[in-house]
Amino acid sequence: MMENEWIIETVNLSKHFGSLVAVDNVNLKVRKNSLHAIIGPNGAGKTTFFNLLSGNLKPTTGKVIFHGKEITHQPVYRMIHHGLGRSFQITNIFPNLTVFENIRLASQVLEKENFNFLIKTSQLTDCDRRTWEVMERVGLKDRAAIPARNLPHGDQRKLELGMILAPDPEVLLLDEPTAGMAAEQVPELIHLIQEIQKAGNKTVMLVEHNMNVVMSISDTITVMHLGKVLAEGSPAQITANKEVQTAYLGGLYELDV
Ligand SMILES: Nc1ncnc2c1ncn2[C@@H]1O[C@H](COP(=O)(O)OP(=O)(O)OP(=O)(O)O)[C@@H](O)[C@H]1O
Ligand SMILES: [Mg+2]
C-alpha cells in the first residue's frame, strides 16, 4: 500500500480530562478521498477526537499526522491553512450576517490582509467569486441576502457546510451535520456531502448518529466506545461484527440495512 494513501493518521492519541480518559490511545488511519465515519454512543469521545484532529484541543499524549507530517502542536489557524476544515456540533454561523457575508468571511480565512468584508468594491474579487461558487454548491445562491438567523434550520446546516467549504479544505470534519434536522431534509444534506466529497476529491470524516445514513454513505466506519476504537471496517463488516452488535448497535439502534 502506498504511503500517501493515508491523509490523516493518529498515533497513540489520548486526551485526559482530569481522571477521565475521553480519547484512549487511538490509532486511526484515514484514506485520502474516502468518506470515513466515526460512530459510537454518547460520550464515546468522537467530538474530542475531532477536536484533537483540528487542533482545537491538544492531546495528552500521541500524535496527529497529516500528509505524513506531524501537525500535533500546530495552532488551529495553521490547520486551516494545511487544509483541515471542521464543523462544530453546534451550528457555527453568525446569525446577524447574511448568507453571503457568512461565506465571504469564511473564504477570507485564506486571505491574509483583508478582513473587512463590508468593504464596497466595484470589482468582483477572487473572494467574491469563491463566495458565489460556494453558495451555488450548497444551494443557497438565491438566499444570499438573507440574514442567517432567518434561514430555516436545514438551510443553516447547508450554510455551515458552505462555510467549511469556503477555504477549500482537503479534509472536512463534520460533527453531526444532520443534528436537529427534520427527517425529510436529511437525504438532501447527505447527498450534498457525498457530491462535495466525490466531485471535489475531498476526504470527509463524519460523526453521525443516523445509522442508515452512516451505513449507506461510508467507505470506512470506526466504532468508538469509552474513548477506544472498538472496531473498524466497511459498513458490511461493521454490521456483521458481533462485538459491535452486542456492545453497541444492537442495543441502541435499529439497523435497517
Ligand atoms: N472539556 C471537557 N472537560 C471535561 N470533560 C469533557 C470535556 N469534553 C468532553 N468531556 C468528556 O469526555 C467524554 C467524551 O466526550 P465527547 O463529547 O468527545 O463524546 P461524543 O462521543 O462526542 O458524544 P456525543 O455523541 O454525545 O456528542 C465525555 O465523558 C465528556 O463528558
Ligand atoms: Mg459529540
Interval 65-81: pLDDT, tens: 998 889 888 877 666 66
Nearest protein Cα to ligand 1, atom 12: 22
User: Which residues are within 8 A (CB) of 80 and not within 5 positions of it... i.e. 6 or more apart?
Assistant: 109, 110, 167, 169
Q: Tell me the C-alpha distance between 152 and 137, whole Å.
A: 18
Model pLDDT, residue 55: 86
CA angle 198, 169, 210 (to 5 degrees): 55
Q: What is the value of pTM for the model shown?
A: 0.88
**What are the grid coordinates assigned to 228, written together?**
477506544
Q: Which fold has domain 1-83+169-257?
A: Rossmann fold (3.40.50)
Model pLDDT, residue 256: 44
Residue 49 · residue 23 · CB < 8 Å: yes
Separation of 176 CA from ligand 2 center, angstroms?
8
Q: Which residue has the cell 468582483?
A: 124
Q: Tell me the C-alpha distance between 165 and 169, whole Å.
A: 6
* Per-residue pLDDT reduced to its tens digit, 182-218: 889 999 999 999 999 998 889 999 999 888 899 999 9
Ordered by start, the domain boundaries in the chain are 1-83+169-257, 95-167
> Helix 153-165 to helix 126-137 angle, to the nearest 10 degrees?
140
Least confident of 45-49, 97-101, 117-121, 165-169: 117-121
Separation of 46 CA from ligand 1 center, angstroms?
8
Ligand with an atom nearest the CA of residue 38:
1
Ligand 1 pocket residue status of 77, Cβ below 6 Å: no
Model pLDDT, residue 235: 96
What is the pLDDT of the chain when averaged over all its residues? 86
Ligand 1 pocket residue status of 59, Cβ below 6 Å: no
The residue among 193 and 118 whose pLDDT is bigger is: 193
What is the mean pLDDT of the segment spanning 123-128? Answer: 72
Query: At 169, is the pLDDT very low, low, confident or very high (cuts 50, 70, 90)?
Result: confident
